[in-house]
Structure 1
């Protein structure tokens, strides 16, 4: 079996690390909080065994051996007790628990960072469908989790039961995906373990107790699951007819600066135009909205830098499927300004990061690849990792809508 070398080190604060910390923007990492530690995998590279930051070695011993092997568990204990850093040889092929944990982390990543974009032709993942599979995976990985994460699995079950009825119909269709029956049985086990009941769960248990007799009638997955969202793309209505255009361009679309779904994930979703109105100067910003609607009075803002100067905030209002806003700027009439425009949600924004355009494009390429795998015939050799049920449905919708 192929093997790789792995360092086990201890930081000054007592944290024990397996391998090095992940490097790159948040949307290029999958992260899973487990008992006594945080596990991290790269989104854009081979998964394999995760990096780990272990803050409670005693608690983590309940799963370390099942993810990394007994030698690694012993090395972590020794390093935590003061032994110098150790180097281990770990098998490249992950254990069943490590594979389940990697898939659970990837599912949480998809719920937060999936690059939904009308402009780029990347459809959204149906939230109830993804949430229910995450609940099933949480139950499958319960050896790794403590009380708070197990409670999260229960909450996922309670929140996303609307997906159960269409999933049962899908299971009875002519060609259900391989993992569907396993997801439904894990869901049933998780609900039973959590003491949940209700009409949807009783129907699930009844369906699982019956012989699986597929029908010959094919299903329209997009119609079965998806709530179609129309994009009017009404950008352009704010242009000032009496103004003279002095500059225009595209702004940056940093996914880390606003909640998921507020903005179309395309790189060119942010555009701006600067006008001259006599001696005055004005900038108008337009942003293609995403699938999520703001709640509680939340509004995006544009951050405008003129010639490298301090930021000007432009409040944005959502109109149909476009965020729009304008502000007057103090720009000398004799100059053509250099403009930088970014989008953020005040109070959420962690601040501007590095220019991660290449990483964002790599994530879009990954999403397209996964959708391509998800659209393949179910009886073909599946690529690893296996697509989520929500990706299979999104791929079917993409064939119809894009």
Structure 2
């Protein structure tokens, strides 16, 4: 059962905030990759998928509409406090625990559709999109008391073209091999990950070892080469506006590297920026998409925590013991675990 204590605050602009301590909300400066959000009648609910507690944060801009579900998710005491315009710390006791659990499950399924860290390098299998969308549609119906807006609509078709998965998609080695001419001198090379917030899902492998770069000197010219493991099943017919690019930087400057897809790899080459012989940074992004902020909420540490969460959920999904708890694996997770020998 979803229990705990929440703070109730009213912002100067009339928005109500109901949240447990340290819970993320849609009012945060930037959403972390661990934040699941559900658009509800009169507001939004949000959870961190990494948090142990199941009590959401709520940001309400229409109290009358939100009263339809406040009592169900948070309980009568919270609903009455908001209606009366008073209250500070109040205990949560959902009047309809199944609705509260369904809302969280739907939010997680929507989160998985955006942030699931599919990786051939890390052997994290993709979710079957049709199966996931089917479960989302079912959960939307079960949450009709509260769900609203775009989250109340049937899932849309994928924005990124995909091809049928191949058996060897999960057998690729970490990193990407790059061919270097015998006469070329490799000054430095390295591997890194990407900020998942900088491009749509389904384009790039989610591993911290998905990006390989090297700075090469040949025929009096210094160039930087970037190779990136593509997301499993990606089709070569990616529209121009969705193709990722790589910004390669040093303390002295940055160059933009155009990437093209060949097989399972995005790759590109450009003149190296000054100082590149000491190493470079690589920022993979789709121009105009996502955040350009700090690592807070999307850096390597939280990405690894998300991967660990997914590994744990896949192990649960592969277990023979029935799991019918409110946080039980999704059908798509069960299918993914069954299709991958690592789980």
Q: TM-score range by the shorter chain?
A: 0.7 to 0.9
Residue-by-residue CA offset, 1:7-47 (whole Å, 9 max, x unaligned)? 10011221100016517852111110011111001111124
| Residue 258 (str. 1) matches residue 199 (str. 2) | yes
* 1:15–1:36 Cα change, 3 Å: same
**Unpaired segments ≥5 residues, structure 1:** 161-225
Structure (1/2) with the larger helix percentage: 1
Deviation at 1:278, TM superposition (A): 4.2
Is 1:362 aligned to 2:299, yes or no? Answer: no
What CA deviation, in whole Å up to 9, does each residue of 1:42-90 have, x standing for no partner?
11112422100001111111111111111111111223xxx4x522122
Q: 1:161-194 deviations in whole A, cap 9, x for unaligned? A: xxxxxxxxxxxxxxxxxxxxxxxxxxxxxxxxxx
Closer, same or farther: CA 265–330 of 1 in aligned 2, 3 Å = closer
Cα gap change, 1:144 to 1:96, in 2 (>3 Å): same
Is 1:321 matched up with 2:264? yes
C-alpha contact (below 8 Å) 2:72/2:96 kept by paired residues? no
> Distance between the aligned counterparts of 2:179 and 2:258, measured in 1?
14
User: Structure 1 pair 381/300, CA: closer, same or farther in 2 (3 Å)?
Assistant: closer
TM-score (norm 2): 0.86
Partner Cα distance (1:233, 1:48) in 2: 37
Aligned 8 A contact 1:289 1:322 in 2: yes
CA distance in 2, matches of 1:269, 1:321: 11
Change (3 A) 1:246 1:147: closer
Are the structure 2 counterparts of residues 34 and 120 from structure 1 closer, same or farther at C-alpha, using a change threshold of 3 Å? same
Structure 1's consecutive aligned runs of 4 or more residues displaced over 6 angstroms after TM superposition are none
Seen in structure 2, the aligned counterparts of structure 1 residues 346 and 239 have a Cα distance that, compared at 3 Å, is farther
Q: Find the structure with the greater CA-based Rg.
A: 1
Does the 8 Å contact 1:41/1:49 carry over to 2? yes
Structure 2 equivalent of residue 392 of structure 1: 334
Q: C-alpha offsets along residues 241-268 of structure 1, whole Å, 9 cap, x if unaligned?
A: 4210101011331111111011111100
TM-superposed deviation, 1:228: 3.0
Stretch moving more, 25-34 or 316-325: 25-34
Contact 1:35 / 1:60 at 8 angstroms: preserved in 2? yes
1:1-400 → structure 2 map (5 Å cutoff)? 4-19=4-19, 22=24, 26-79=32-85, 83=86, 86-91=88-93, 95-146=97-148, 148-150=150-152, 152-153=153-154, 227-229=164-166, 230-231=168-169, 235-291=176-232, 292-293=234-235, 295-297=238-240, 298-306=242-250, 308-331=251-274, 336-354=277-295, 356-377=299-320, 379-380=321-322, 385-399=327-341
| C-alpha separation in 1, matches of 2:203 and 2:2 | 43
Q: Structure 1, residues 133-187: CA drift from partner, whole Å, max 9, x if none?
A: 100000000000246543x13x56xx69xxxxxxxxxxxxxxxxxxxxxxxxxxx
CA distance in 2: counterparts of 1:57 and 1:257, whole angstroms: 34
SS in structure 2 opposite 1:362? helix
SS in 2 for 1:72: helix
TM-score by length of 1: 0.74
Report the Cα distance in structure 1 between the residues aligned to 2:305 and 2:244, rounded to whole angstroms: 26
SS of the residue corresponding to residue 54 of structure 2 reads coil
Report the more deviating stretch, 247-256 or 231-240: 231-240
Q: CA RMSD in A?
A: 2.7
- 1:384 Cα offset (Å): 5.4
Gaps of 5+ in 2: none
Distance 2:54 2:336 in 1: 26
* Aligned partners of 1:49 and 1:92 also within 8 Å: no
Q: Is the 8 A contact 1:101 1:141 kept in 2?
A: yes
